[in-house]
């Protein structure tokens, strides 16, 4: 069999150097031919089938998109070939607003849609959380409110024909959402975990599920931080919709929007056209990011 004739599979879970791939609805436990691997859930790969249960990944096909985070020490792949990131928030436990903002910046950089999901809408504390999230909805990011334990129907239209990755802090209710969207999810993740000899599934690995409305969702482990060290300095301001139209209007062409006089973005924030915490994040990213423009 030539390499060109190899079947194309979808990576539906990763576990270190072990993978589960789907070939025409059939799952295989897979390893990689090369020692250094960077496959992510959602990747389309060519595989060599060894038997009815095992396969070897020969190579990955070109990606449409890649969502990942990075810090000073490493990069962590989240998902490949996604079209939408759904950031799951809840009032209890309280969410980190900067994490929400970082996820939105990552979505802009990857050129994928962003959806804010405010879960546990039945709680009285949600009213205050709604106030925090409203400025982001005003920036153009769609938001849907629901209570995953009661009714996940409001979310379904946003997932139709999309490949959506769920991200958020632990405790936001992502697993409850997934179980509501894919009733057989618990059984399927248990099956995958057993195939990988990883024991009980506790959402420590991203997993891809197919939905009845033609969409796909990827459930990812809970996040406490979202490093963006890989971003380019010359792209940072463009990743903030409220600052995008101000690019080139600062007094100095190399303005970092910190203390420079005549900064259009500082002026916009001072007159209430942008959130102070968003400007603060932009300033922080100039210090964090190693990418050069």
Instruction: Please name the residue that has the structure tokens 């100095």.
Output: 252
Give the model's pLDDT for residue 185: 78
Q: Which two tokens stand for residue 90?
A: 């809840």
CA distances from 68 to 1, 65, 85, 145, 230 (A): 34, 10, 12, 26, 9
Which residue's structure tokens are 């390893």? 31
Residue ranges and CATH numbers for the domains of the chain are 3-60 (2.40.50.140), 66-219 (3.40.50.300), 233-288 (1.10.40)
pLDDT of residue 195: 54
Q: What are the φ and ψ backbone dihedral angles of 110, each rounded to 5 degrees?
A: -85, -5
Convert the pLDDT of each residue in 2-12 to its tens digit: 445 799 999 99
Q: Say if CB 99 and CB 169 are below 8 A apart.
A: yes
In this prediction, residue 190 carries a pLDDT of: 47
Other residues' Cβ atoms within 10 Å of the Cβ of residue 216: 20
According to the model, what pLDDT value does residue 198 have?
Answer: 42
Instruction: For strands 8-15 and 44-49, give the pairing.
Output: antiparallel
The pLDDT, as a whole number, for residue 11 is 97
Alpha carbons 37 and 78: distance in angstroms, whole number: 14
Contacts 24+ apart (CB under 8 A), 248-254: none
- The predicted structure's pLDDT at residue 222: 86
Q: What does the pLDDT read at residue 199? A: 38
Model confidence, pTM: 0.90
Helix (H) or strand (E) holding 12: strand 8-15
Segments in the chain below pLDDT 70: 1-4, 186-204, 290-293
pLDDT at 194: 53
Cα distance between residue 205 and residue 61, in whole Å: 22
Per the omega criterion (within 30 degrees of 0), is the bond before 93 cis? yes
What tokens does 125 get?
A: 């504390």
Q: Are 146 and 154 in contact (CB under 8 A)?
A: yes
Q: Give the CA diameter of the chain.
A: 67
- Judge contact between 136 and 116, C-beta under 8 A: yes
DSSP secondary structure letter of residue 272: T
Tokens of 122: 């039945």
């Amino acid at each position: 069999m030539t390499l060109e004739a190899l079947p194309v599979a979808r990576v539906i879970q990763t576990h270190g150097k072990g993978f589960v791939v789907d070939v025409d609805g059939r799952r295989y436990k897979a390893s990689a031919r090369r020692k250094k691997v960077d496959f992510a859930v959602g990747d389309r790969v060519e595989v060599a089938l060894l038997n009815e249960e095992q396969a070897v990944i020969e190579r990955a096909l070109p990606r449409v998109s890649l969502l990942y985070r990075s810090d000073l020490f490493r990069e962590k792949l989240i998902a490949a070939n996604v079209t939408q990131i759904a950031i799951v928030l809840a009032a209890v436990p309280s969410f980190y607003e900067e994490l929400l903002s970082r996820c939105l910046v990552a979505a802009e950089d990857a050129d994928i849609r962003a959806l804010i999901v405010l879960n546990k809408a039945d709680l009285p504390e949600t009213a205050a959380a709604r106030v925090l999230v409203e400025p982001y909805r005003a920036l153009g990011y769609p938001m849907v409110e629901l209570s995953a334990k009661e009714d996940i129907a409001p979310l379904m239209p946003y997932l139709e024909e999309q490949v959506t990755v769920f991200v958020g802090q632990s405790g936001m209710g992502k697993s409850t959402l997934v179980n509501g969207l894919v009733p057989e999810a618990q059984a399927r993740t248990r099956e995958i975990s057993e195939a990988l000899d990883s024991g009980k599934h506790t959402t420590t690995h991203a997993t891809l599920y197919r939905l009845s409305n033609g969409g796909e969702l990827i459930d990812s482990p809970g996040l406490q931080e979202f490093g963006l060290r890989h971003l380019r300095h010359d792209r940072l301001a463009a990743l903030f919709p409220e600052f995008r139209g101000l690019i080139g209007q600062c007094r100095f062409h190399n303005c970092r929007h910190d203390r420079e006089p005549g900064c259009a973005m500082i002026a916009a924030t001072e007159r209430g056209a942008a959130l102070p915490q968003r400007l603060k994040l932009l300033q922080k990213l100039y210090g964090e990011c190693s990418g050069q423009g």
